Amino acid sequence: MKDSQLTVTAYDWVPGFAQGHVRDLRVRWALEEAGFPYDVEVMAQGTQKKPAHLKRQPFGQIPTLEIDGQTMFESGAILWRIAEASAALLPDDAAARDRVLSWVFCALNTLEPPVGMLATLELFVSDKDAAARLRPEIAAAVTGVLERLVVALGDKPHIVGHFTVADIVLTTVLRDVPDDLLADLPSLRAYVDRHTARPAFQTALAGQMTLFAENAAKYERAG
């Protein structure tokens, strides 16, 4: 993959609450860690639902990754494909790889859905009274999962041996956990801080945020 032509799709701008959290960040981070050069195809808001993009992403979402003209979608699948091509993101040992794969799916299937429900309540449910009634129950579910993650992580710096693609997925999901839920879980706060301090993450984040800053004015005028 290092010598392939790689292109990531990304929005030119999103509202403030989503900036730094759009999932092309995961893909950019993995590519930066792997040392794989890539281009970014910038998409204006609204164009993601047009036929050209729906051909490569049936649900009109971001990101996709084009590899020598062949397109993949779903950030988890894309990250695993990158990891398979990079010694930096997967261990050599087969058993350790299986553990990494398990943690990737854990992040996507066990942790991310309830975290996403909290975000939906806060940002997209118009009935704020209903959202306030539901939040404690959802927050308790998230906290329960986080507490099990604390036990599994223990005092390790990474979830499986050295830094892997599982840490990328877990970190990007944990960044979306509200601060009040992480406040009493210092090992997870430190885990996130440790991984977001990595140069590859900082480069990926800067790439995403620069696009938003460059294109903000046209959306402000449109609004």
Residue 162: name the closest of 103, 211, 96, 218 by CA.
96
Q: Is residue 145 a part of any domain in this protein?
A: yes
Look up residue 68 and give its two tokens: 């020598």
Domain contains 60: yes
Looking at the domain assignment, is residue 134 inside a domain? yes
DSSP alpha helix (H) spans, the chain: 24-34, 51-54, 75-84, 94-105, 112-123, 128-153, 165-174, 179-182, 186-196, 199-222
Q: State pLDDT tens for residues 43-57.
A: 999 999 999 999 999
Q: What is the pLDDT of residue 2?
A: 87
Q: For residues 143-151, give the mean pLDDT.
A: 98
Q: What is the pLDDT of residue 181?
A: 95
| CATH code, domain with 42 | 3.40.30.10
Number of domains in the chain: 2
Residue 123 lies in a domain: yes
Looking at the structure, tell me whether residues 181 and 216 fall in a common domain: no
| pLDDT for residue 203 | 98
Its domain, for residue 170, covers: 94-162+164-197
- What percent of the chain clears pLDDT 70, i.e. is strictly above it? 99
Please say if the pLDDT value at position 163 is more than 80: yes
Q: Do 19 and 61 share a domain, yes or no?
A: yes
pLDDT, residue 220, reads 82
Taking alpha carbons only, the member of 33, 28, 26, 34 closest to residue 2 is 34
Please compute the mean of the pLDDT values over residues 189-206 and round it to a whole number: 98
Residue 34: the pLDDT is: 98
Position 187 scores a pLDDT of 97
Question: Do 58 and 116 share a structural domain?
Answer: no
Write the pLDDT tens digit of every residue in 62-100: 999 999 999 999 999 999 999 999 999 999 999 999 999
- Nearest residue to 166 (alpha-carbon basis) of 97, 112, 95: 97
Q: Within a domain: residue 157?
A: yes
The arithmetic mean of pLDDT across residues 164-175, rounded, is 98
Two structure tokens written together for 66: 């084009």
Contact 168, 82 (CB under 8 A): no
Mean pLDDT of the chain: 96
Give mean pLDDT, residues 4-26.
97
Global pTM value: 0.96
What's the pLDDT score for residue 104?
98
Predicted pLDDT of residue 223:
58
| CATH value at residue 147 | 1.20.1050.10
Beta carbons within 10 angstroms of residue 119's beta carbon: 15
